Chains A and B, each alone.
Chain A
Amino acid sequence: MVLAIGLGIGFLMTIVTVGYSMGKNPFPERNDVLFAVQLDAGNPDNPPDNPDNIATQLTYLDAMALMESRQAKRQSASAQSYVVIVPQDPDISSYQASVRAVFTDFFAMFNVPFEYGAPWDHQADGNADQVVVLSHATNDRLFGGRNSVGLTLSFGNDEYVVVGVLKPWRPVPRVYDLTGGSPFDSVRDVFMPFNTMVDHNYERRGSVSCWKPLPTNDYQGFLFSECTWIQFWVELSNSEEKAKYLEFLNNYATDQKKVGRFGRPVNNHLRNIEEWLDYHRVVDEGVQVLTVIAALFLGVCLINTIALMLAKFLARTKDLAVRRALGASKFTLFAQHLLESGFIGVIGGLAGILFAWLGLLGIRALFDDPDIVYLTSLDVTMLATAIAIAALSTMVAGIYPAVRACNVQPVAFLKV
């Protein structure tokens, strides 16, 4: 019985853990204040192939307009790029590093933890200063983990000053950065001011969608095109601020219509983190199908458990008849057996955790990817869920055997 429940729970928890880690909100405390901005500025004749046909990213024109308006408490345009780092240490060879270009508000919005230094300031944003914040891994790689604030880095011919170094920080999924690469990858190597990236014509990376030809075939042409490639997040303290900001977006869209842009009906959106994860279908459909299969497997295990419990409970009918004779009511016996079912369930749940742990180890071995550890770790919530599902489902499975057991006819058993 314990083995049957353990296997069922183990399989289910293995799959659910992966799905849970994929879809878990890494910033639950910020869910109601951070919103991804969507402007419906797409092709009127051939809108984006999204659930509601609205682009998930903004054009440079719109992102900069929203940044300049500063209508939200905090706001940050954000995009992906890359640079070639030329380390000062001759023992470390040059390498290509991924860049997330953001505005300084980004760090406060996503509670980014700093090991050394601090984010750059608004002035650095405006001036497109050559400053960077390094990820913990990058600082380890370039400076051996020591405090590198104030030191300089060479990106080709450009010198950058390190103003901050992050603590180890790994939001899973990387909700602010869902359009380039896997949402479960580690954070980018380097953070730099958005305007600095633009000023230096650093090539962008990640998804881009253009529905009109570029006005000119150079970097400036790309910036002032209808190509969407920038993610945009705002912080709004309450529902009134959210409504006000949405109204601002709609007014902005109406104004843009007047100058010949935004050919589709006004349809802008602000989505909180959980809505954004759902919208992007971060949890793979295959995982959802597997979850259903695992739940069905648990169902089969429970049916097996019902049969085993029925046999176990009915094997003690003589004892039950004696207990009835000694004053146990049917309800007392029913409750006793249901409690026993729950106990079996808890033991099965513990066995299930062991199987789930083995299953997750198996997945790690199968994929041979160090990052997979972030999707295959059992946390306290999952452990408690495993025990609760096991106890509850086994108690439900125990109802029928318990009813049968407490309805034994004493006459048939009290005489040999």
Chain B
Amino acid sequence: MLVMKDVCKNYRTETVETIALKNVNFNVDEGEFVSIVGPSGSGKSTFLLVAGLMESFDSGSYSLDGEDVAHLNDRARSRFRNQKIGFIFQNFNLIPDLDVADNIGVPLRYRGISRQERKTCITDALETVGLAGRRKHFPSQLSGGQQQRVAIARALAGKPKILLADEPTGNLDSQTAQGVLDLILELHHNGSTVIMVTHNPEIAQSAERQVRVQDGQFLNGSD
């Protein structure tokens, strides 16, 4: 599903060059749930942005769902991201001016899905995360846990090939965090491929495989 070979990514300013990813070799099979753990600044989030086609990389190769994505232009990358990748963020990143249904519908709109079909997808996604009764609520009217559930519904509404979760429980209390984690596990058990970045070893253990990142290097990425 996801294959990275010798991927390097550096951030440069006029005076400093920071190595974010160093010769990353990393494979994820379809249906797998992999957690990536490491301390702050180790390159976890950069990896997720590169994997999610939000950031380019300097060298190496990367293929996703069988397609070499290294040389796609912005439009093709955006389309690829829209159709095959679902993002779940630590701070939820819901659009405050849109209600729950419209937030979930944003990626579907970019895909050009019809209004009726969009409605069905949104309803299915909301039922999956247990928020069917909240479709007209705005993000500010929801708790942190509910917001993250909406974010998960948004990520999976378009039935992506892979879910990329960046510290999905980082902003939640332990009880709520467990609920969100259970939801992600349920998605995985239903066949979703999930890559979850976390610095919490306990959360990381929920995944069937854990990969450690340190100073931009994946210590056991190709297991």
Q: Which residue of B lies closest to A319 (CB)?
A: B95
Contact in complex: A411, B110 (CB < 8 Å): no
In the bound assembly, the distance between CA atoms of A321 and B94 in angstroms comes to 11
Chain B residues, Cβ within 8 Å of A321: 93
Please tell me which one of the listed residues A325, A326, A327, A415 contacts residue B90 in the complex, with CB atoms under 8 A apart. A415
Asked if A216 is at the interface (CB within 8 A of a chain B CB), the reply is no
Assembled-state Cα–Cα distance A411/B166 (Å): 12
A322 contacts the other chain (Cβ, under 8 Å)?
yes
Contact of A331 among B54, B75, B171 (CB under 8 A): B75
Contacts A327-B107, A328-B110, A411-B49: A322 and B75 contacting too (C-beta < 8 A)? no
- Contact-residue size bin, chain A (C-beta under 8 Å from the other chain): 10 to 19
Which residues of the other chain, A, contact B54 by a CB distance below 8 angstroms?
324-325, 410-411, 414
- Smallest CB gap from B98: residue in A: A319
Minimum CB–CB distance for B25 against chain A, Å: 23
Taking a contact as CB atoms under 8 Å apart, the answer to whether B91 and A326 are in contact is: no
Are A325 and B110 also in contact (CB < 8 A) when A319-B95, A331-B75 are? Answer: no
Interface residue A330 (Cβ < 8 Å from any Cβ of B)? yes
Residue of A nearest to B55 (CB): A411
**Interface residue ranges of B78-126 to A (CB < 8 Å):** 78-79, 81-83, 87, 89-91, 93, 95, 106-107, 110-111
* Docked-complex contact A414 and B78, CB < 8 angstroms: no
- For A322, the chain B residues whose CB sits under 8 A away are 89, 93, 95
The answer to whether B111 touches A327, judged by C-beta atoms less than 8 angstroms apart, is yes
Contact with B91, one of A328, A332, A410, A416 (Cβ below 8 angstroms): A416
Instruction: Decide if B93 touches A414 in the complex (CB within 8 Å).
Output: yes
Chain B proximity mask over A276-319: 1 for CB below 8 Å, otherwise 0: 00000000000000000000000000000000000000000011
Shortest CB-to-CB span from A413 to chain B, Å, is 9
Verify B110–A326 contact, CB threshold 8 A. Answer: yes
Are A414 and B83 interface neighbours, CB within 8 A? no
What is the minimal beta-carbon distance from B14 to any residue of chain A, in angstroms?
17
- Determine if A257 is an interface residue (Cβ-Cβ < 8 Å): no
Contact of B107 among A326, A329, A416 (CB under 8 A): A326
- Which residues in window 162-177 of B have CB below 8 A to A? 166, 171
**A317-356 vs B: 1/0 string, CB under 8 Å?**
0110111111111111000000000000000000000000
Residue from the list A329, A410, A415 in contact with B74, Cβ < 8 A: A329
Complex interface: chain A residues within 8 A of B154 (CB): 326
Distance in Å: Cβ of A412 to nearest Cβ of chain B? 11
In the docked arrangement, what's the CA distance between A319 and B75, Å?
19
A326 to B156, CA, bound (A): 11
Say yes or no: is B43 at the interface (Cβ < 8 Å to chain A): no
CB-based contact B106/A326 at 8 Å? yes
Q: Which residue of A lies closest to B94 (CB)?
A: A322
Max count, chain B CB within 10 A of own CB: residue among A318, A326, A410, A416: A326
Q: Across the two chains, which residue of chain A brings its CB closest to B82?
A: A327
- In the assembled complex, the Cα of A330 lies from the Cα of B81 at a distance in Å of 13
Taking a contact as CB atoms under 8 Å apart, the answer to whether A415 and B75 are in contact is no
State the CA gap A322–B75 with chains docked (Å): 16
Contact check, A318 vs B93: say whether CB atoms are below 8 A apart.
yes
Q: Name the A residues within 8 Å of B45 (CB-CB).
A: 415
CA distance A330 to B76 in the complex (A): 11
A330, closest chain B residue (CB) = B74
CA distance A326 to B102 in the complex (A): 13
CA distance A322 to B106 in the complex (A): 10
Q: A325: nearest residue on chain B (CB-CB)?
A: B87
Pair B75/A329 contact, Cβ less than 8 Å = yes
> Which one of B83, B110, B171 has the highest number of Cβ atoms from chain A below 10 Å of its Cβ?
B110
Chain A CB within 8 A of B216 CB: no
Closest CB of chain B to A276's CB: distance in Å? 55
Which residues of chain A come closer than 8 Å to B90, judged between CB atoms? 415-416
A415 to chain B, nearest CB (A): 6
CA distance in complex: A326, B89 (Å): 11
B52 on the A face (CB < 8 A): yes
Q: Which residues of B contact A318 (CB under 8 A)?
A: 93
Interface pair B49/A328, CB less than 8 Å apart: no
Contacts of B89 in A (CB 8 A): 322, 325, 414-415
A416: nearest residue on chain B (CB-CB)?
Answer: B91
Interface centre among A323, A327, A332, A415 (most CB of B within 10 A): A327
Once bound together, how far apart are the Cα atoms of A416 and B171, in whole Å? 10
> Once bound together, how far apart are the Cα atoms of A88 and B98, in whole Å?
78
Closest residue of chain B to A406, judged by CB?
B74
B162 to chain A, nearest CB (A): 14
Across the interface, name the chain A residue whose C-beta is closest to B78. Answer: A329
Partner of B78, one of A319, A328, A415: A328
Residues of A within 8 A of B46 (CB): 411
**Can you list, as one digit per residue, whether each of A231-264 has a CB less than 8 Å from chain B (1) or not (0)?**
0000000000000000000000000000000000
Closest Cβ–Cβ distance, residue A281 to chain B (whole Å): 54
* Nearest CB of chain B from residue A307's CB, rounded to whole Å: 23
B93 touches A327 (CB 8 A): no
Residues A326 and B49 in contact, CB atoms below 8 Å apart: no
Chain B stretch 59-86: residues in CB contact (< 8 A) with chain A: 74-75, 78-79, 81-83
Q: Which residue of A lies closest to B151 (CB)?
A: A322
A to B CB contacts below 8 Å, 25 in the list: A318-B93, A319-B95, A321-B93, A323-B95, A323-B106, A323-B110, A325-B87, A325-B89, A326-B81, A326-B87, A326-B106, A326-B107, A326-B154, A327-B83, A327-B107, A327-B110, A327-B111, A328-B82, A411-B54, A411-B55, A414-B166, A415-B89, A415-B90, A415-B166, A416-B171
Lowest 10 CB-CB distances: which A-B pairs, in order?
A327-B82, A329-B78, A326-B107, A327-B110, A416-B91, A322-B93, A329-B75, A325-B87, A410-B54, A327-B107
In addition to A322-B89, A329-B78, 13 A-B residue pairs with Cβ atoms within 8 Å of each other are A318-B93, A319-B95, A322-B93, A323-B110, A324-B54, A326-B82, A327-B78, A327-B81, A327-B107, A328-B82, A328-B110, A415-B89, A415-B90
